[in-house]
Amino acid sequence: MKRPYIFCHMLTSLNGKIMGPYMDRPETEAASEVFYRIAFGQAPYYKHQGWLSGRVTTDDNFTFYEKPAINEAADPVPEGDYIADLADIYYVSIDPSGKLGWQSSDLVYGDTRAKVIEVLTERADNAYKDLLRRLGISYIIAGEDQLDYGLALEKLKDLFGIETLMLGGGGILNWSFIQAGMCDELSLVLAPVADGSRDTPSLFQAKEGLSANKAIGFQLEQVEEKEAGILWLRYKLQG
Ligand SMILES: NC(=O)c1ccc[n+]([C@@H]2O[C@H](COP(=O)([O-])OP(=O)(O)OC[C@H]3O[C@@H](n4cnc5c(N)ncnc54)[C@H](OP(=O)(O)O)[C@@H]3O)[C@@H](O)[C@H]2O)c1
């Protein structure tokens, strides 16, 4: 395979939400620990070299909608990709037009320290690439206007040695990769909680111009009951 093996690993409420008031419940806190243990922590089930996040997820959790500190008068950067440091694990950020206000090339999640890789398209301008270079953040360019999935994934494998990649949300990112045929497995941690919010994101969300809405099937591989009524479900994608 020219791309990494890809599993989508997510924590949801019983009604498939990935964000919202249910997150403040103790059941969700317990489920977050289960979620973390399965893919991170000391003895994880999945041994991946990177996890992939959509631009909104990164802004919500790590860059907090800061404006990037760009220098419009920066000298032109060399063409093509930029590889700063190699690492054991990477946070792979899908940021097609270069919006995220990174402050550092390192990101800490629980007890995991990762190096950031930005996945850009040709829409990202010179000043943004210059900022990434100044911060020592690697970037790859995949696609003109739209993300070229195959190229991005091939580069992640060839340039950074990512053999297994976690697709880590949000719903827009997950669904776009699934619709593009770029997901092999779904790992779902189901917390015994719900709320009825109408406008919070779900596990999978189509976005106009980004992803189609072709329904797909899943084949159940494993069901495991964890502590406190939390379920861990693993499925293969049927297409
Ligand atoms: N419960 C969980 O396990 C979990 C996990 C992760 C995230 N979350 C939550 O999910 C929420 C965000 O989810 P979301 O679905 O609204 O947003 P998202 O998937 O995080 O980000 C969507 C954005 O990412 C970029 N993007 C994603 N796929 C792309 C593609 N195929 N091609 C080009 N660009 C692409 C686009 O950025 P541009 O708009 O810049 O073009 C798009 O608008 C956050 O609140 C986060 O905390 C929960």
Pairing of strands 50-53, 90-94: parallel
Question: What integer is the mean pLDDT of 53-77?
Answer: 98
Q: Measure the CA–CA gap between 35 and 189, rounded to whole angstroms.
A: 6
Q: Is 98 in the pocket of ligand 1 (CB under 6 A)?
A: no
Phi, psi of 24 (to 5 degrees): -85, -5
Task: Measure 133 CA to ligand 1 centroid, in angstroms.
Answer: 24
Per-residue pLDDT at 143: 98
**Model pLDDT, residue 16:** 98
The response to whether residue 173 sits with its C-beta less than 6 Å from ligand 1 reads yes
CA distances from 10 to 204, 209, 226, 232 (A): 10, 24, 15, 10
What pLDDT is attached to residue 227? 96
Task: Using the predicted structure, report yes or no on whether residue 122 has a pLDDT greater than 90.
Answer: yes
**CA 60 to centroid of ligand 1, rounded, Å:** 10
CA of 162 to the centre of ligand 1 (A): 21
- How many whole angstroms from 57 Cα to the centroid of ligand 1? 5
Domains along the chain with CATH numbers:
1-48+169-239 (3.40.430.10), 50-162 (no CATH)
* Residue type for position 175: W
Contact 120, 147 (CB under 8 A): no
Please name the residue whose Cα sits nearest to atom 4 of ligand 1. Answer: 18
Q: Mean of the per-residue pLDDT values for the chain?
A: 97
At 238 the pLDDT is: 87
Q: State yes or no: pLDDT of 239 exceeds 90.
A: no
**Cα-to-centroid distance, 75 and ligand 1 (Å):** 31
**What does the pLDDT average to over 132-144?**
98
Q: Which residues contact 199 (CB under 8 A, 6 or more apart)?
A: none
Q: What is the pLDDT of residues 168-186, one digit of tens each?
A: 999 999 999 999 999 999 9
- Evaluate if residue 11 carries a pLDDT over 80: yes
Share above pLDDT 70 across residues of the chain, in percent, rounded to a whole number: 99
What span, in angstroms and rounded, lies between the C-alpha atoms of 236 and 5? Answer: 12
Question: Is the CB of 170 inside a 6 Å radius of any atom of ligand 1?
Answer: yes
pLDDT above 80 (res 111): yes
- Cβ–ligand 1 distance for 61 under 6 Å, the answer yes
Average pLDDT of the segment spanning 64-92? 97
Q: Whose CA is nearest to atom 33 of ligand 1?
A: 147
State the pLDDT at residue 8.
Answer: 98
Mean pLDDT of 36-61: 97
Of all protein residues, whose CA lies closest to atom 31 belonging to ligand 1? Answer: 176
| C-alpha triplet 34, 36, 41: angle, nearest 5° | 115
Region 105-131: mean pLDDT is 97
Query: Do the bridges between strand 50-53 and strand 164-167 make them parallel or antiparallel, or are there none, so unpaired?
Result: parallel
How much is the pLDDT for 194? Answer: 98
Q: What is the pLDDT of residues 16-26, one digit of tens each?
A: 999 999 999 99
74 Cβ below 6 A of ligand 1: no
Instruction: Name the percent of the chain lying above pLDDT 90.
Output: 97
Half-sphere exposure of 58 (CA within 13 A, CB side): 25
Burial of 180 (0-12, 13-18, 19+ CB in 10 A): middle
The pLDDT of residue 1 is above 80: no
